[in-house]
Amino acid sequence: MSASTSEIKRVTTHVIQAMKTRGEKIAMLTAYDFSMARMLDEAGIDILLVGDSASNVMAGHETTLPITLDQMIYHAQSVVRAVHRAMVVVDLPFGSYQANSEIALSSAIRIMKESGAHAVKLEGGSEVEESIKRILMAGIPVMGHLGLTPQSIYKFGTYTVRAKEEVEAQKLRDDAQLLQELGCFALVLEKIPANLAKIVSESLIIPTIGIGAGQHTDGQVLVTHDMLGITKEFKPRFLRRYLELFDAIGDATKQYINDVKNKDFPNESEQY
Ligand code: KIV
């Protein structure tokens, strides 16, 4: 009898693969710091992605391009320290793997060695084939990422849905097969038509994890700050908000300011 995912001590690539095989959906969220990672891990999340979206969410940049390998390692270290059960996957940031496979391998090794993470993720298909091969040869699990790949935003020009036209859809299907053949253990599909994501997910043995890719992928991922409503203006159709923390934190902060100004905080029981 196989253990259900809630009883599993540590989520590994094998556990993720077994979930696809038995039709159990995979839940992934982003995390960039210790406190958030601890809450998400305790709640039972399967995979925590230390995404390069930290560049937007944590550092306030407009794109994911500026974040550095050192900064990704810092975020990954904080997340790994918090986690007991979830698998931790770390994005290779822009510029850390595109130049050649040697640079890619050394970036991936730094992430694994210095943070203790369990896998890396990188964007692209055939363009980054050599880098993926080299990283996999070193025994480092790789998660692929196709569709909208935010590190190429200046090539795309917009964050709209990708692969609506047949030529791009065919390239995505070919890249998905290639990533599986190379040995990637899973694949993120970002912002593509649900029907294309269904075809790709059904054609692959490895799991797909969608964001804005519909209900037929083997798992789902959201940026935690979007899902919790910490970010305010970002409201794409695919995003479900489970909390409105921007407003809730604002209200609590106003209450605190009020209490301090009115000399209500601290009161007698809150002092020594
Ligand atoms: O960096 C990130 O948060 C991601 C997810 C959107 C998949 O790559």
257 in the same domain as 174: no
> Is 57 a pocket residue for ligand 1 (Cβ < 6 Å)?
no
> Is 123 a pocket residue for ligand 1 (Cβ < 6 Å)?
no
What is the full per-residue pLDDT of the chain (272 aa) written as tens digits?
456 666 778 999 999 999 999 999 999 999 999 999 999 999 999 999 999 999 999 999 999 999 999 999 999 999 999 999 999 999 999 999 999 999 999 999 999 999 999 999 999 999 999 999 999 999 999 999 999 999 999 999 999 999 999 999 999 999 999 999 999 999 999 999 999 999 999 999 999 999 999 999 999 999 999 999 999 989 999 999 999 999 999 999 999 999 999 999 999 999 99
Q: Give distance in angstroms: CA of 121 to centre of ligand 1.
A: 9
Domain with residue 192: its CATH number is 3.20.20.60
Interhelix angle for 34-43 vs 69-82, to 10°?
50
> Is 223 a pocket residue for ligand 1 (Cβ < 6 Å)?
yes
Which pLDDT score, from 0 to 100, does residue 1 have?
43
138 in the same domain as 46: yes
What pTM, to 2 d.p., does this model score? 0.96
Q: Give distance in angstroms: CA of 52 to centre of ligand 1.
A: 6
> Is 28 a pocket residue for ligand 1 (Cβ < 6 Å)?
no
Q: Which domain does 197 fall in, by range?
A: 3-241
Ligand 1 atom showing the smallest separation from residue 221 Cα: 7
264 in the same domain as 225: no
CA distance 52 to 32: 9
38 in the same domain as 122: yes
217 in the same domain as 145: yes
171 in the same domain as 66: yes
**Atom 1, ligand 1: residue with shortest CA distance:** 51
Q: Helix H segments across 138-262? A: 153-156, 166-182, 194-203, 224-227, 245-261
261 in the same domain as 141: no
Which pLDDT score, from 0 to 100, does residue 233 have?
87
132 in the same domain as 189: yes
184 in the same domain as 145: yes
> Is 221 a pocket residue for ligand 1 (Cβ < 6 Å)?
yes
196 in the same domain as 266: no
Q: Give distance in angstroms: CA of 214 to centre of ligand 1.
A: 16
169 in the same domain as 184: yes
Which pLDDT score, from 0 to 100, does residue 167 have?
98
Q: 3-class DSSP state for residue 194?
A: helix
| Active-site choice (7, 24, 62, 190) | 190
> Is 51 a pocket residue for ligand 1 (Cβ < 6 Å)?
yes
Which pLDDT score, from 0 to 100, does residue 15 have?
97
Closest CA to 229 of 244, 219, 239, 216: 244
Number of domains in the chain: 2
Which pLDDT score, from 0 to 100, does residue 8 have?
73
Angle at 105 between CA 104 and CA 106, to 5 degrees: 95
Ligand 1 atom showing the smallest separation from residue 53 Cα: 1
**Atom 2, ligand 1: residue with shortest CA distance:** 51
236 in the same domain as 251: no
With residue 89 as reference, give the H or E element that holds it. strand 87-91
Give residue 68's Cα distance to chain centre. 16
Catalytic residue list contains 190: yes
CA distance 28 to 257: 36
> Is 5 a pocket residue for ligand 1 (Cβ < 6 Å)?
no
Which pLDDT score, from 0 to 100, does residue 82 have?
98
